Amino acid sequence: MKKQFFWRVYHTICAALCVWPCLVAAEVTDLVSVYQQALGNDSVFRSAAAVREASLEVIPQTRAALLPALVLGADRSLVDQLKSYPQRYTVNDWNLSLVQPLFRWDRWLSFKQADTKAAQVERNFQAAAQWLLLRVTSAYFDVLAAEDTLRVAAAETSAMNRQLAVAKERLKVGAAILTEEHEAQSRLDFAQAQEIAAQNDHENRREVLREIAGILPEHLAALQEDVSFPPPNPPDPEQWVASSRDNNPSLQVARLQVQVAESEVKKATAGHMPTVDLVLSHSYQYNHGSQQWFGGYASDANTAMVQMKLPLFLGGQVASGERQAAAGLEQAHDDLDTADRRVVRETRNAFRTVNSSLAQVKAYRQALVSAKSMLDTTMEGWQVGFRTMVDVLNAQRDYFQAQRDWSTARHNYVLGSFQLKSMNGSLSPADLAAVNQWLVR
């Protein structure tokens, strides 16, 4: 009778472990919903959007340096003359001037450079948008993985509790030895410690999701068990590498930085060149109370001139700027080389991760079936005396570990496929929606 009771409890635990995700009655939040919340709440992405808006203002600012500047000036002076004709009087002066740059090579280079910087800003924002997709997906599936680990840990603790209860009953009737009870108690203690750690990790992962999305959903939609994951397309890793080297946002930013650094070298050299401006001005001056001018005078004048300035010596400033710009260009080339190598490495790693995860999903799925079969066989052998309590506990441990491994491999596939697409700049919300279809509503 006790054996039949234990057998029923064992099957009840296994059945509950399989159908637990379907028993959640509360409202379930899916991946797309979390992403939509993150678009408005993630401070990192909002900061990137603000940087983009601010940086794009460099275009009108550099354009303004090439357009006319109209300046109105006014001053009032108190003159206290001590010699010749001692007197005190005031002078009022108004001046309206218009300056149109005719030749400002450094400003023209800055204006052309602004387009490159604007392209950099756009690529950086594109990278930030893809990073948000990655962070949301990673945080979401980290929570799912932690939930799976916690669920399995709780089931394992429950199974160990039942196993300990049976060991104690068997010991009472003389069907077991004290070692079996001690072994069951040891496994239970370890399972309880694992469950506590899993609970803590689950809460930590949920806080990461809250940090990104600004919300903390009660329940998340989980991956369906019968999802058929597609392999990478194209199947050749070198095609992914070539695409990433052409389209990776971070690599494009590094290439544009080389162009910016080249412009900086030209701008530094422009310090040796002359500047030519057209200056138009109108001035009005009124001096009242001066005895020298019989009680005061007024002047009204218009001036037009072309002004040229040629720097001859500026204390070595221009030469220093040239050396600094040259060093900056060398750094930009080195950074581009570093970024290129990183993109190639991470693309190949992501490709291998996707393929490895696909193989692991199949292998761990089969291992889970085998572990379940082994557990059933061990339980039957233990019932008839051919297996020991330790054999049962080991079989249960292997079964629960197979569940953890299978869950981890499935989540690694999703994250790896997103990482792979982000490397060539093709990751988009459409990919998020596609994965959303694999989730249990």
**For the domain that residue 303 is a member of, what is the CATH number?**
2.20.200
Model pLDDT for residues 226-255, shown as the tens digit of each residue: 889 999 999 999 999 999 999 999 999 999
**pLDDT at residue number 262:** 94
Report the predicted TM-score, pTM, of the whole model to 2 decimal places: 0.79
DSSP lists the bridge partners of residue 304 as 280
Where residue 79 falls among pLDDT bands split at 50, 70, 90?
confident
User: What CATH code is carried by the domain that includes residue 172?
Assistant: 1.20.1600.10
**Axis-axis angle for helices 105-172, 178-213 (nearest 10):** 160
Residue 441 is assigned to a structural domain of this protein: no
Q: Which domain holds residue 82?
A: 69-103+275-309
Identify the residue whose tokens are 């009032």: 76
Q: Are 383 and 3 in contact (CB under 8 A)?
A: yes
Give the pLDDT band of residue 22 (cuts 50, 70, 90): very low
Mean pLDDT of the chain: 86
pLDDT of residue 440: 84
Task: Retrieve residue 108's tokens.
Answer: 């023209």
Beta strands in 289-333 (DSSP E): 296-309
Give the tens place of pLDDT for each residue, 265-310.
999 998 889 999 999 999 988 877 655 555 567 788 999 999 999 9
For residues 353 and 332, membership in a common domain is answered with yes
Tell whether 355 is covered by a domain.
yes
H or E stretch including 283? strand 275-288
Q: What residues contact residue 162 under an 8 Å CB cut-off, 6+ apart?
A: 6, 9, 10, 13
Same domain, 289 and 345: no
Residue ranges with strand state E in 38-175: 69-81, 87-103
pLDDT value, residue 161: 83
Q: Does 202 share its domain with 299? A: no
Which of these three, 260, 284, 309, is where a domain ends? 309
Claim to verify: residue 141 and residue 19 sit in the same structural domain = yes
State which of 8-12, 203-207, 217-221 shows the largest mean pLDDT.
203-207
CB atoms within 10 A of CB 225: 11
